[in-house]
Structure 1
Amino acid sequence: MELIAKYHVETDLPIQKAAEAIAAEQSTGTWTEVRGQDNPLAARVVSAQKSEVEIGFPEELFRPGNVPQYLSVVAGNLKKVRLLDVIFPQSIIRAHKGLRFGIEDARKILGVYDRPLVCTIVKPKEGLDPAGTAAMAEAAVRGGLDLVKDDETLTD
């Protein structure tokens, strides 16, 4: 089974080439040519017509229950590409029991009821170690932000 992501693509490339680039970039692509056997974790082009592309991602790429990872794989790092839809395999759907906390719970925990919650992203891949990431998150909260998330495809 695989996760299917549907995209609208704006490109000057032939749509098949653009689709292949998306599949590589969002799964196992690299700047260096890699020789050898096909990678079983590589995404594949399901269809590419006009400006619509469907990419199939092997379910083994995803850690069940890790929503931020799903989104960073199917929606991250793409320019002039709009994610239209995602079709999840049953194995991933079954991993979700529902939300533990809803917006009301977040507001209660944070004590914020009368305004939007404000969030930022800390990017450890910019050279921060765990202690540096924690210090940056602490500074953001002390500066008045409500929530901080990291921006990595962390799965453990």
Structure 2
Amino acid sequence: MLYRPMTADDYEAAYHLWENTDGMGLSEADSRGEIVRYLERNPGISQVCVNEDGTLAGTAMCGHDGRRGYMYHVAVSSDSRGSGAGREMVTRCLERLREEGIMKCHLMVIGHNSLGRSFWTGTGWQERDGLVLFSRNS
């Protein structure tokens, strides 16, 4: 696998992967324009992995607000799962955050996404109790 920062050119393949990943929530915030804006605001932090044949095998979107890091859309294609690709992309994202002085990262997992929850707890992330997420369109 080749690991590298995610670019705008990866968008179509990434969106196709996300659409075909169980437990992935997509919205209008995942349009090409919104994803490109996120990548430009957080250059070099988000990561992808690519198979030897050039196909996209995984994504890990990551950025920060100057205080905390946030990870989104960590996905690995079904035929590449179990290869360590998810762990490697997450490790690379966290390294980039540390380089920018960000020492803590948060992520959200849809409650019924048992595969995702298992991945995160199995890689040392702690599920937080006592927090409630609120959202609102501006």
- TM-score, length basis structure 2: 0.31
Higher helix share: 2
- TM-score, length basis structure 1: 0.29
Larger C-alpha radius of gyration, 1 or 2?
A: 1
